[in-house]
Amino acid sequence: MTVRHVLTQSAGVPGIPLDTTPEDLCDWDKMCDGIADQELWWEPGTKVGYHAYTFGYIVGEIVRRVTGRPISQVLREEVAGPLGVASELYFGMPESEYHRLARLEDAPMPAGMVMPEMPPDLPMFKASPMSLMPTAQLGNRTDILAADIPAGGKTTARAIARVYAALLGEVDGVRLISPERLNQVSAVAASGTDEVFGIPSAWTLGYSKGIPGLAETAFGWGGVGGSLGYADTATGLAFAVTKNRLTMDFNTATQVNQVVTALVAAEG
pLDDT, tens digit (0-9, with 9 covering 90-100), for 32-56: 999 999 999 999 999 999 999 999 9
Share of the chain above pLDDT 70, in %: 91
In the predicted model, what is the mean pLDDT of residues 191-207?
94
Supply the CATH number for residue 178's domain.
Answer: 3.40.710.10
Give the count of domains, the chain. 1
Helix or strand or coil: residue 228? strand
Which alpha helices (DSSP H) does 107-200 contain, by range?
A: 124-127, 136-139, 142-146, 157-168, 179-186
Asked whether residue 15 is domain-assigned, the answer is: yes
Helix or strand or coil: residue 204? coil
pLDDT value for 249: 56
Phi, psi angle pair for 100, to nearest 5°: -85, -10
Asked whether residue 208 is domain-assigned, the answer is: yes
Asked whether residue 117 is domain-assigned, the answer is: no
Least confident residue range of 5-9, 81-85, 126-130: 126-130
Domain range enclosing 66: 3-111+122-267
pLDDT value for 109: 72
Q: What is the DSSP letter of 103?
A: P
| pLDDT tens digits, 212-249 | 666 788 999 887 788 889 999 998 999 898 889 888 65
Whether 240 contacts 164, CB under 8 Å: yes
Q: What is the DSSP letter of 101?
A: S
Asked whether residue 32 is domain-assigned, the answer is: yes
pLDDT value for 110: 66
User: Residue 248 half-sphere exposure, CB side, CA atoms within 13 Å?
Assistant: 8
Instruction: Report pTM.
Output: 0.90
| pLDDT tens digits, 88-103 | 999 999 999 999 999 9
- pLDDT of residue 66 exceeding 80: yes
Whether 233 contacts 168, CB under 8 Å: yes
pLDDT value for 4: 97
Q: What is the DSSP letter of 174?
A: B
Asked whether residue 244 is domain-assigned, the answer is: yes
Asked whether residue 116 is domain-assigned, the answer is: no
Asked whether residue 187 is domain-assigned, the answer is: yes
Helix or strand or coil: residue 48? strand
Asked whether residue 65 is domain-assigned, the answer is: yes
pLDDT value for 251: 46
Whether 193 contacts 199, CB under 8 Å: yes
